[in-house]
Amino acid sequence: MLKKILCVLILLICFSSCNISESLNTNSTSESLNTNGVYENADAVDFRYATDDQLNVYFDLIVDSVKEYYSNAMGNHSEFKPEKLSMSDNVRKYIEYRFKYDAYRYGDYADKENGEYELTWHRIIDDSLYCMVSIVFPNFGTVFQIIISNPKKPEIVEWYCGYKEPFDIITRANDIDLSKKENWFVNSEMNEILNKCQELVDSIKR
């Protein structure tokens, strides 16, 4: 009788282990990188209802994107594209110009590996996540405002730094507050902004 009871218990433990393993595998596949290396999570919830742990995933993606940008601009790279976040069409066009300007401005920056990046504040605006990221180098520091939308396939829809970063100030305006939606690219005259971007990039080539 005792042997039968032990056999039943062993079978129950094995069955439970299989279920746990399946559950873990299911969770891990919902959060992944697609064929282009971009982060996706089919089970993601609206930013407004996300837990702190869920939001932390997006915070890390945003901070990593800013770090990638400066590492590339300061390392004489020819272009920049975030490894795990996609960009809206407006941001992509804007960043192409901005990166050319910053790559020329920073050149091969000696302290490019010594930067400190930290997400200092965030706010959820409707269905978008607004974040502020501070950047500190030995002799340079600034603060970025970045907004992403669509938690299932997060996309950068705003990218602005109006403190000690002349490109954004010249092509857009000084001290833009992106926590106000009227200041977003989608509500701006993009042709006018991109024309200013082209003029600024052309000026460094002369």
| pLDDT per position as a tens digit, 19-55 | 434 433 334 346 788 877 899 999 999 999 999 999 9
pTM for the structure as a whole: 0.81
What is the total count of domains within the chain?
A: 1
Nearest to 53 by CA among 35, 34, 27, 83: 27
Q: What whole-number distance in Å separates Cα of residue 181 and Cα of residue 151?
A: 18
Q: What pLDDT, on the 0 to 100 scale, is given for residue 30? A: 63
Residue 159 lies in a domain: yes
**pLDDT digits 0-9 by tens, 109-148:** 767 778 899 999 999 999 999 999 999 988 888 899 999 9
Mean of the pLDDT values across residues 152-180?
A: 91
Q: Specify if 23 maps to a domain.
A: no
Please indicate, yes or no, if residue 104 is contained in any of the structural domains. yes
Q: Does pLDDT of 17 surpass 60?
A: no
Helices then strands, counting H and E runs in the chain, come out as 5, 7
Predicted local confidence at residue 139, as pLDDT? 81
Query: Is residue 124 helix, strand or coil?
Result: strand
Judge whether 65 lies within some domain.
yes
pLDDT at 75 over 90: no
Domain that holds residue 103: 41-204
- The DSSP code for 108 is B
Q: Is residue 26 part of a domain?
A: no
Lowest mean pLDDT among 5-9, 138-142, 186-190: 5-9
Q: Is residue 10 a part of any domain in this protein?
A: no
- Asked whether residue 2 is domain-assigned, the answer is no
Is residue 143 domain-resident? Answer: yes
